[in-house]
Amino acid sequence: MKALLALEDGRTFPCRSFTGPGETGGEVVFNTSMSGYQEVLTDPSYRGQMVTMTYPLIGNYGVNPEDVESARIQVAGFLVREYQAFPSNFRSTATLAEYLEKQGILGVDRLDTRALTRHIRNAGAMRAFVSTQELDAAAAVRRARQLPSMVGLDLASRVSTETPYRWIDDGPVYLDPAREPLDRGVWRHPGEKLSVVAFDFGIKYNILRSLSRQGLEVLVVPGATSADTIRRLAPDGIFLSNGPGDPEPVTYAIENIRELIGYRPILGICLGIQLLGLAYGGRTFKLKFGHRGVNQPVKDLRTGKVEITSQNHGFAVDIDSLTGTGVDITHINLNDNTLEGFWHRGDAVLAVQYHPEASPGPHDAHYLFEEFKERIGSA
């Protein structure tokens, strides 16, 4: 079925839908991973975005119920060069097309993803519209320009859980608010396991798996949970998750984080480091085309070691804006020298911009979860 992708700057790309009729829109971005498309599809940090994969053949190993990073597909649309309709993998339970169709997500192929990626690299990530129904280029471009800009958009509130839950046996177990009030009585292993409250701004399941593998008892709470509630829970540590959109309008989280700094050891990842940077008085800015893939080189300034990392973000903390805040810069991106990590020794705060839990991606930075546990224990 013929389809057309239109960008807000007037560039259009003919393509074909492999999921049937439909139309959708969002910010168009690219991911350079060669595998892991199911994890990409279900990463809440992609809410409001259409993702194009730079690797040309997608769908060749199908999908399965184990490789998800949230309860549903999060991307607004999926753009690939060549869709493989006949997957071959012993873990596959369905085709990619079936998976997308079941959740009403438009997937297109026969798209010149190389040209699209080069265009985004030169012009920047931008709003886009794709449709099987509106094939007039001028009309499709107008539809793209009517979409909301990513700047100033709080998407974290749209993907955050509404109900707190425990992470048990590789899955969420939701609390009954009527019987389990949010106080220190909620912990099931006091004295046996260190406890961590994880703010959900769009948290990935493998983050929760990684925390759980450290022997931590994890409680996930909505992103808007107040600092007073966290104090009533009295956890041993606090985790700030990844998430989509612009960090600046997430003011409720910034205010709560500012109150909690110094209360317990904190680890922030992706959106978490951006919110921490703002809480310390820093500034954030939108990257031209973002960092999305599993091959981003990051240098740990403490050791001089270079790690190959998994990343997915379109905003970053301005390094210069943190001058005088008391934080020490610990990691930088070797491609563009943007901030990738900082810590505050006195406040026991550690934050990184990349994804140590990977999924997909390398495990070079997985030690950060161990470091977080050690900081909690020593505190």
DSSP 269-324: ETHHHHHHHHHTT--EEEEEEEEEEEEEEEEETTT--EEEEEEEEEEEE-GGGGTT
Looking at the structure, tell me whether residues 42 and 132 fall in a common domain: yes
- The whole-chain average pLDDT of the chain stands at 97
Sign of the torsion angle spanned by Cα atoms 207, 212, 216, 218? positive
Residues in the chain: 379
Q: Write down which residue in 145, 171, 186 finishes a domain.
A: 145
State the total domains in the chain. Answer: 2
In a domain, 355, yes or no: yes
pLDDT at 178 over 90: no
In a domain, 151, yes or no: no
Looking at the structure, tell me whether residues 177 and 295 fall in a common domain: yes
Question: Which of 192, 176, 194, 165 lies closest to 71, judged by CA?
Answer: 165
Per-residue pLDDT, averaged over 291-296, amounts to 97
| 45 secondary structure, DSSP code | G
Looking at the structure, tell me whether residues 227 and 361 fall in a common domain: yes
Question: Residues 217-255: pLDDT tens digits?
Answer: 999 999 999 999 999 999 999 999 999 999 999 999 999
Residue 315: the pLDDT is: 98
Looking at the structure, tell me whether residues 102 and 211 fall in a common domain: no
Q: Could you list the residue range(s) of the whole structural domain that residue 78 is in?
A: 2-145
Looking at the structure, tell me whether residues 201 and 81 fall in a common domain: no
Q: Which amino acid, 365?
A: A
Angstrom distance (rounded) from CA 367 to CA 346: 21
| 355 secondary structure, DSSP code | B
Residue 379: the pLDDT is: 85
In a domain, 150, yes or no: no
In a domain, 274, yes or no: yes
Looking at the structure, tell me whether residues 182 and 214 fall in a common domain: yes
- Tell me, what CATH number does 171's domain have? 3.40.50.880
Looking at the structure, tell me whether residues 160 and 141 fall in a common domain: no
**pTM surpassing 0.95?**
yes
pLDDT band at residue 325 using 50, 70 and 90 as cut-offs: very high
- Determine what percent of the chain is predicted with pLDDT higher than 70: 100
Looking at the structure, tell me whether residues 129 and 194 fall in a common domain: no
- Indicate the SS3 state at residue 359: coil
Q: Write down which residue in 110, 145, 180 finishes a domain.
A: 145
Question: Residues 9-43: pLDDT tens digits?
Answer: 999 999 999 999 999 999 999 999 999 999 999 99
In a domain, 221, yes or no: yes
Looking at the structure, tell me whether residues 130 and 221 fall in a common domain: no
189 tagged catalytic: no
Looking at the structure, tell me whether residues 323 and 177 fall in a common domain: yes
Residue 241: the pLDDT is: 98
Looking at the structure, tell me whether residues 181 and 330 fall in a common domain: yes
- Indicate the SS3 state at residue 290: strand
357 tagged catalytic: yes
Per-residue pLDDT, averaged over 263-267, amounts to 98
Instruction: Write down the H helix ranges in 183-238.
Output: 205-213, 227-233
- Tell me, what CATH number does 19's domain have? 3.50.30.20
pLDDT at 308 over 90: yes
Question: Residues 180-220: pLDDT tens digits?
Answer: 999 999 999 999 999 999 999 999 999 999 999 999 999 99
Angstrom distance (rounded) from CA 26 to CA 202: 18
Angstrom distance (rounded) from CA 233 to CA 248: 27
Angstrom distance (rounded) from CA 310 to CA 245: 18
Instruction: Write down the H helix ranges in 240-356.
Output: 251-260, 271-279
pLDDT at 177 over 90: no
Q: Write down which residue in 114, 145, 176 finishes a domain.
A: 145
Question: Residues 271-285: pLDDT tens digits?
Answer: 999 999 999 999 999
15 tagged catalytic: no
pLDDT at 57 over 90: yes
In a domain, 39, yes or no: yes
Looking at the structure, tell me whether residues 129 and 243 fall in a common domain: no
Set 15, 69, 217, 270: catalytic member: 270
Question: Residues 127-175: pLDDT tens digits?
Answer: 999 999 999 999 999 999 999 999 999 999 999 999 999 999 999 999 9
Set 27, 39, 69, 357: catalytic member: 357
Per-residue pLDDT, averaged over 91-112, amounts to 98
